Amino acid sequence: MKFLIAGAGAIGAYVGARMAHAGCDVTLFARGPHLRAMQERGVEVQSTEGDFIAHPRIAASLEEVGPVDVVFLAVKAHGLPELAPHLARVLGPDTTVVSLQNGIPWWYFQGFGGEWNGLRLERVDPGGVISAAVEARRVVGSIVYLATQITSPGVVRHIEGNRISLGEPDGSRSERIRSIAEAMIAAGLKCPVTTRLRHEIWVKLLGNASLNPVSALTRATIVQMVRDPGVGPVIRAIMEEVEAVSHKLGMELPITIDQRMAGAEKVGEHKTSMLQDLEAGRPMELEALVGAVVEVGERVGLPMTVSRTIYNCTKLLAKTV
């Protein structure tokens, strides 16, 4: 199989390096100093599991890649509207597209069934540009449970985690998803195939939609937020609103709010990805992680009072820094 990592930032470069190191046919599409460093020296991975240097093909444009079997969309959600219209250059008749984005993905309501079937979220897919570029039949979803960081151009530090759950939107265990999972497992990644991906997305959103924006507003670590007598209840209130949205959609979550709060506390003195982006001057994943949850909640008739307040405050913060 021929793989393309479209958006070889910290996550994409790490996954691509792992796959190339294992002998997979993989190309990394990147830009800027990171692109040039990888072209010259390969991808250097620093990890407690062992350092290594991989030499995948590195592309500066999608035109030079051509059609592939599998495209991993590894840009952050706010980068997809810009990337999506150019993907036609690498899509063959049967190319599979794996979304690696956090939050509610653009494809979430495609084939959902019932009242909300086909709902497009403006905050995730403005103008429908992504869904127009990537047909629903191509999509395999994922949930990423790993943390990486680009410490310098061409150098990726693996911080923790190695799991990427894959799931067909229709809950099936297809041959294509098994083949993709096998390649990723051979590369040293944990890659379970789930039949309940839509449910699991909401489990991760419990933390993402609450801890991320509040951390950007407070500059606090995860344990500081959940232990704080004033902020902890705010985190819990947002989680309760997220849970209520999931229930409206028929998603019963396999974890309670108490369990999620306890799990967050165990993470310790860790900064969320949104706070890290804010401190580094990068755009925050606000719409996919928070704005989309508010949008869905209001569409299904929930007030989303706390979530909307925190979302609006964080959105103003993004405009003023």
Amino acid at 161: G
- In terms of domains, do 265 and 245 share one? yes
- Spatial distance between the Cα atoms of 104 and 251, rounded to a whole number of angstroms: 14
Instruction: Tell me which of 142, 163, 195 is where a domain ends.
Output: 195
**What backbone torsions phi and psi does residue 65 show, to the nearest 5 degrees?**
-85, -50
Domain at 312, CATH number: 1.10.1040.10
- Spatial distance between the Cα atoms of 107 and 296, rounded to a whole number of angstroms: 14
Q: Which domain holds residue 291?
A: 198-320
pTM for this predicted structure: 0.94
Number of Cα atoms under 13 Å in the Cβ half of residue 35: 12
Residue recorded with tokens 């405050």: 313
Instruction: Tell me which of 195, 219, 239 is where a domain ends.
Output: 195
Query: How, if at all, do strands 43-47 and 52-54 pair?
Result: antiparallel
Q: Three-state DSSP class for 244?
A: helix
| Contacts of 321 by beta carbon, 8 Å cutoff, 6+ apart | 278, 281
- In terms of domains, do 174 and 38 share one? yes
| Contacts of 301 by beta carbon, 8 Å cutoff, 6+ apart | 248
Paired residues of 28 in beta bridges: 5, 58
Instruction: Tell me which of 195, 211, 227 is where a domain ends.
Output: 195
> What would the two tokens of residue 48 be?
């407690």
- In terms of domains, do 140 and 206 share one? no
| DSSP code at position 266 | H
Residue recorded with tokens 């072209």: 39
- In terms of domains, do 227 and 242 share one? yes
- In terms of domains, do 40 and 106 share one? yes
pLDDT for 164-196, tens place per residue? 999 999 999 999 999 999 999 999 999 999 999
Reported as type and span, the H/E element at residue 164 is strand 155-167
Q: Say if residues 164 and 144 touch (Cβ distance below 8 Å).
A: yes
Per-residue pLDDT in tens (0 to 9) along the chain, 321 residues: 999 999 999 999 999 999 999 999 999 999 999 999 999 999 999 998 899 999 999 999 999 999 999 999 999 999 999 999 999 999 999 999 999 999 999 999 999 999 999 999 999 999 999 999 999 999 999 999 998 989 999 999 998 899 999 999 999 999 999 999 999 999 999 999 999 999 999 999 999 999 999 999 999 999 999 999 999 999 999 999 999 999 999 998 999 999 999 999 988 888 899 999 999 999 999 999 999 999 999 999 999 999 999 999 999 999 998
> What would the two tokens of residue 68 be?
């592939």
Burial annotation 276-298 (CB, 10 A radius, 16+ → b, else e): bbbeeeeebbbbbbbbbbbbbbe
**What backbone torsions phi and psi does residue 178 show, to the nearest 5 degrees?**
-65, -40
- In terms of domains, do 172 and 219 share one? no
- In terms of domains, do 26 and 175 share one? yes
- Spatial distance between the Cα atoms of 158 and 148, rounded to a whole number of angstroms: 5
Active site residues: 204
- In terms of domains, do 161 and 235 share one? no
